[in-house]
Structure 1
Amino acid sequence: MIKTHPTHAMLRAFAADELPLPLAVGVSAHCELCPECAASLRACEEELARQFLEPAEQPAEVSEPMPAGLDAVLAGILQQPVASQAELGQPAPSTPELQVAGHSYRLPRVLARHHAPKWRHIGAIRQHSLPLDEMGARASLLHIEAGGRIPEHTHQGYELTLLLAGNMQDGDTCYQAGDFIWRDASHAHSPHTPDGCLCYTVQDAPVQFTKGLSRLLNGITHRLY
């Protein structure tokens, strides 16, 4: 069961095309995995559409009336059902699977074109930076082998982790596929995965390692996020 979700404000910002691209991709992928947020997003889109289509104050001059019957024709066109690919005789496109460390993962549609990343490999962790940078935010795919752990760290900005597959333990909470986990400078944590996981991550600043030898990496973390 998905425990953590985007806020309503974030869903509304996504519907209004106001999010940086990396966050927008994360929200889109989450909504594909979460029917609850997909329904909330549709409601936001419908609300914004109604606001956009509401008529402005009528001018003093009366506009020329629409030709008789044209409004009914347009309404009929808009009510026509959209043919599916099966009805059109076209096969549904197959989503390529991502292969990493002997595992196979089916990605959300918004990430499907990134199914053949070039990984940077450190211990149990593999990371691939995605070409989605915008407004200071950067996105990555992160794969952690079973038993792997991220050294304890805090954040100089925000961090989104969308769990795409597997599980992750962070403090007392175990997250599953679909969880939309938001962290910032108020959090210090060392997440680990009992069974392995694949994540989509977004950061707008490097992490700051806080314990042990990992602190030696703080001088180069700008290359890792």
Structure 2
Amino acid sequence: MIKIHPSDPMLRAFAADELPLPLAVGVAAHCELCPECALRLHGWEEELANAYLVDDAPTQSATRDEPTEAGFDAMLADILEQPVATVADLARTAPPPPVLQVGGHSYRLPRVLARHHAPKWRHIGAIRQHSLPLDEMGARASLLHIEAGGRIPEHTHQGYELTLLLAGNMQDGDTCYQAGDFIWRDARHAHSPHTPDGCLCYTVQDAPVQFTKGLSRLLNGISQHLY
């Protein structure tokens, strides 16, 4: 069961096309996995569309070539009564996305990530990482695969980090996250997540991480190449 979701301000910003591309992809992928957030997103899209239509309504008197106020209201009501395809509807009618193969496992990616089903992994221990070509506004995105029992060294963040768990599970402190969880971290957090059974993640960062313990601190000089 998905426990962690995008905030309403983030869903509204996505609906208004105000997020950098890597975050927008993360929100879209989460909404494909989470019917609850797909419904909340539809509400924001409808609210923004209504506000746009009201702001764009004609303010001058109708002429022979313009609809009357009553006619415009009827046209608007007719538009709003049309059925809207939800993320779930599209998922049912579209062909299944390609399968991503990694570490002996097969994963179905969300459709927004389906084109990245053949990544070129960088392999360090139990961790495989692939940088995605989605950079925008200082934010970068990656796919991250961690084998069962793998752990990321303790670190904090100079900016923000989004981790969308696409498959498997991840333990971070006392919390066990499952597929679909939308996990937000920033400079307030120092953590060392690990996975009992293995996991695949979509991650977004807008600044390098800062490793805080052990030999991993030697990576801080090159950490800008690791996100």
Q: TM-score scaled to structure 1, two decimals?
A: 0.89
- Stretches of structure 1 that go unaligned for 5 or more consecutive residues are 84-90
Alpha-carbon deviations, 1:119-155, whole Å to 9, x = none?
A: 0000000000000000000000000000000000000
Matched, 1:22 2:11: no
Q: How many residues align?
A: 215
- Which of 136, 139, 144 pairs up with 1:137? 139
Q: How does 1:16-165 map to 2 (within 5 A)?
A: 16-54=16-54, 55-56=56-57, 58-59=59-60, 61-64=61-64, 65-66=66-67, 92-165=94-167
SS of the equivalent of 1:58 reads: coil
CA distance in 1, matches of 2:219, 2:36: 39
CA distance in 1, matches of 2:174, 2:194: 11
SS of the equivalent of 1:117 reads: coil
1:58, CA displacement in angstroms? 2.2
Identity of aligned residues (%): 82
Q: TM-score scaled to structure 2, two decimals?
A: 0.88
Q: Which residue of structure 1 lines up, in the alignment, with residue 196 of structure 2?
A: 194
Runs of 4+ in 1 over 4 A off after TM superposition: 70-83
Alpha-carbon deviations, 1:86-142, whole Å to 9, x = none?
A: xxxxx8423100000110000000000000000000000000000000000000000
CA distance in 2, matches of 1:76, 1:7: 31
Q: 1:80 to 1:178 in 2, by over 3 A?
A: closer
Please tell me the residue identity of whatever aligns with 1:137: A
1:3, CA displacement in angstroms? 1.0
Q: Which residue of structure 2 lines up, in the alignment, with residue 86 of structure 1?
A: none
Alpha-carbon deviations, 1:15-59, whole Å to 9, x = none?
A: 000000000000000000111110000000000000011154622
Q: 1:139 to 1:52 in 2, by over 3 A?
A: same
Q: 1:73 to 1:51 in 2, by over 3 A?
A: closer
Q: Which residue of structure 1 lines up, in the alignment, with residue 185 of structure 2?
A: 183
SS of the equivalent of 1:9 reads: helix
CA distance in 1, matches of 2:9, 2:186: 17
Matched, 1:10 2:10: yes
- Which of 156, 168, 171 pairs up with 2:170? 168
Q: 1:80 to 1:9 in 2, by over 3 A?
A: closer
What is the Cα-based RMSD across aligned positions, in Å? Answer: 2.3
Q: Which residue of structure 1 lines up, in the alignment, with residue 90 of structure 2?
A: none
Q: 1:173 to 1:81 in 2, by over 3 A?
A: closer
Q: 1:215 to 1:51 in 2, by over 3 A?
A: same
